[in-house]
């Protein structure tokens, strides 16, 4: 299948362009915000206890997380995947509209935002992480779909029937007459990631919150998110094309695999610890 002639720009207003990539972040953040509000407004999920945060606190938290995603994602990409940009093309660090965002960098940025917000508002850190975790797959879903529309982060070569040739006239024009991905079929790994890291991970966490009372198990949801994301990402690295400027790591490892390993370990430990604890008893109201 030849890659469709997607235009990454939805609307061009003079020098100002509205890109699908930016809209993907906006959609993920807005839907995540509304979903988090719905979670705290569903009393049965909390087992008779007060929710971790109020809707008003979630409104404030959205701004903190947005800054964490953008700053962490971009800085992480530069540090993990393109450190030479710092001294060769420093102006490109600010050009986030060209793509180049690291999930692991964004994850670190969000974690820092949650830590600071929890301290400022005297909220239990792990419980706040449990509230943020179920909404994160929504952002991942839209982000991976935007990667596909941009024709970036494509997979390794393949002969499967659904392989995609990431080359068309628009890409040739942008890349000086050639296609970086070549004119051979590749795995549409962006869509694999959207399905696993977005749809499937959302459903797993939804099941945990609505069927297994994980919002009442401190640290359980945050751990389950890290564990599942780490597993999915490490597995998909086998069909995702490593960045050309990355060195050859031993044992066939990729940067994505190595960055996912701490998530796997920490996530597994948090889930194990959460499952050892009994579900919290409802709070009693004094007459």
DSSP assigned state of 199: I
CB 190 within 8 A of CB 180: no
- DSSP secondary structure of 180-202: TT-SSEE--HHHHHIIIIIIIHH
- Residue 124 burial (CB count, 10 A): 13
* Integer Cα distance of 154 and 214 in angstroms: 35
CA 257 → CA 69, 229, 241, 286, distances in Å? 20, 11, 12, 51
Task: Give the predicted TM-score (pTM) of the model.
Answer: 0.87
Which DSSP state fits 213?
A: -
Give the residue numbers of the binding site: 144
Q: What is the pLDDT of residue 287?
A: 39
Alpha helices in 41-157 (DSSP H): 55-81, 85-88, 103-121, 125-132, 136-150
Maximum Cα interatomic distance, the chain, rounded to a whole number of Å: 77
**What per-residue confidence (pLDDT) applies to 286?**
43
Q: What digits encode the pLDDT tens for the residues 56-74?
A: 999 999 999 999 988 888 8
DSSP letter, residue 285: P
Residue 284 has pLDDT above 70, yes or no: no
Token reading at 107: 């994850």
- Indicate the pLDDT class of residue 77, thresholds 50, 70 and 90: confident
- In the predicted structure, residue 28 carries a pLDDT above the cut 60: yes
Q: What is the mean pLDDT of the chain?
A: 87
Tokens of 155: 């997979």
Alpha carbon of residue 108 to chain centroid: 11
Sign of CA dihedral 18, 20, 21, 24: positive
Measured distance CA(225)–CA(190) in Å, rounded = 19
Distance, in Å, from the CA atom of 284 to the CA atom of 287, rounded to the nearest integer, reads 9
- Does the pLDDT at position 124 exceed 60? yes
């Amino acid at each position: 299948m030849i890659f469709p002639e997607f235009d990454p720009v939805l609307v061009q207003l003079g020098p100002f362009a509205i890109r699908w990539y930016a809209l993907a972040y906006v959609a993920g953040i807005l839907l995540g915000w509304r979903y988090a509000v719905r979670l705290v407004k569903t009393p049965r999920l909390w087992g008779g206890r007060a929710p971790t945060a109020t809707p008003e606190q979630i409104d404030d938290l959205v701004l903190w997380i947005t800054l964490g995603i953008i700053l962490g994602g971009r800085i992480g990409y530069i540090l993990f995947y393109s450190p030479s940009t710092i001294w060769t093309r420093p102006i490109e660090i600010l050009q986030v509209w060209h793509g180049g965002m690291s999930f692991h960098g964004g994850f670190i940025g969000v974690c820092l935002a949650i830590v600071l917000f929890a301290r400022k508002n005297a909220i239990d850190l792990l419980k706040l992480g449990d509230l943020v975790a179920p909404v994160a797959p929504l952002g991942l879903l839209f982000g991976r779909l935007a990667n596909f529309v941009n024709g970036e982060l494509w997979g390794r070569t393949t002969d499967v029937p659904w392989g995609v040739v990431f080359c068309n006239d628009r890409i040739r024009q942008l890349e000086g007459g050639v296609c970086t991905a070549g004119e051979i079929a590749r795995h549409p790994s962006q869509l694999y990631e959207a399905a696993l890291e977005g749809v499937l991970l959302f459903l797993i966490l939804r099941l945990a919150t609505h069927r297994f009372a994980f919002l009442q198990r401190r640290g359980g949801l945050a751990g389950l998110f890290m564990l599942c994301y780490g597993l999915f990402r490490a597995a998909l690295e086998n069909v995702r094309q490593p960045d050309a400027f990355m060195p050859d790591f031993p044992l066939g490892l990729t940067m994505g695999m190595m960055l996912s390993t701490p998530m796997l370990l920490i996530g597994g430990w948090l889930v194990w610890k959460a499952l050892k604890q009994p579900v919290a008893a409802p709070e009693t109201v004094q007459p």
